[in-house]
Structure 1
Amino acid sequence: MKTWTILATSAALSMSAPVLADKNTDKSSDESIQQDMAQAYEDAKSATVDAYITGRLITAYALSEHLKATDIHVDVQERKAILSGEVGNEIQRDLAVEIARGVEGLEDVESTLQITERDQTEMANAESGGFAQHFNDAAIKARVKTRLLWNSNVSGLSIDVNAEQGEVTLSGAVDSQEQAALAIAITENTDGVAKVVDELKVQTASRES
């Protein structure tokens, strides 16, 4: 009788072993699927952020009077911008890098920009403090305009930006004092801005009599 009980127990255990193995396999498979889904989500989120940053940087170059005619290619991967293409001189190359560094969200900038032609007159001017300051003002102006453009509460407004020796002047029309205050705050929080001059005007909607 004891022998039969032992044999029956052994048989039951041997039959249950595959079931336990299947459960462990299913659990491992579920964990693997969850990990794959989590990784896919992170990859998609990273790609979205990179695309957003790319758009901001391209817009900044398009708004720059000194770079809008250049052939600069932008590739953003994991918050790192890789700049390639051609510019006319060293000033344009450095300006492109500085503007990229001012774009919110970027963590690193790598430049492989090639200089196709050097304007000797412009390079001579670059050695003077006057052109260096002009370079800084151009970079500040581009940063401010980019930040204003990408804020949904002020991006559609007609705000003009001018920079001179680190002093930024905002002019144009806004719909309310709150929008003016927001535009000023964004400008004040932009790297390189020493002072903000507010020339914004609050426009009032015309009323029919």
Structure 2
Amino acid sequence: MFVLSTLFAHPAVRVKQLAVLAVLCFMVLPAVADDDARLQGRIEAALILSESLNGYVFEVAVSDQRVVISGAVTNENERRVILQVARSVAGDLEVESDVELSTAQPATTDAMVAQRTLLQGWHRAQLEAELRREFAESSALDGLNINIDIQDDTLILTGTVSSELERMVANQLGQNLDSIQVVNNQLTVEE
């Protein structure tokens, strides 16, 4: 099962403390874990963040270039979504589903909501850091005066830039981000 769900089950643990813990884990994890564990964590996070799988708990196992997902869902469409999400993260690896069909509806606990909120915040922070890096690496853009806000699949850019070219470059870099469907470019050009 997901490690974070165990942590959230303890009533004395606050979400803010877990956010710090999760960020530290994600920073340290690549340095100490093997490829299978990193892939397992990425698949688990993608399943938690999937809107259509809200409330379900899955077990993900990765070994020998093979991913196996087990758990229970209420219909075949949800089972297909699980495979699509896992394959989008796993790339060329074989993904197998041991997910059963069940008549029981998923339970959404406070811990699951908190876990989802934490992962969404981490995902937004990761996207923002990626975009800030792109801004810094762009020779056509001085991104210091650009504010970034990410809400679901929408990127909102505010602030000032020195030219229309910078405004267009910032917009294009935002559109290139994974998970971003809409760029609301509110950047103004300094006169």
Normalising by structure 2, report the TM-score: 0.48
Higher-Rg member (1/2): 1
Normalising by structure 1, report the TM-score: 0.44
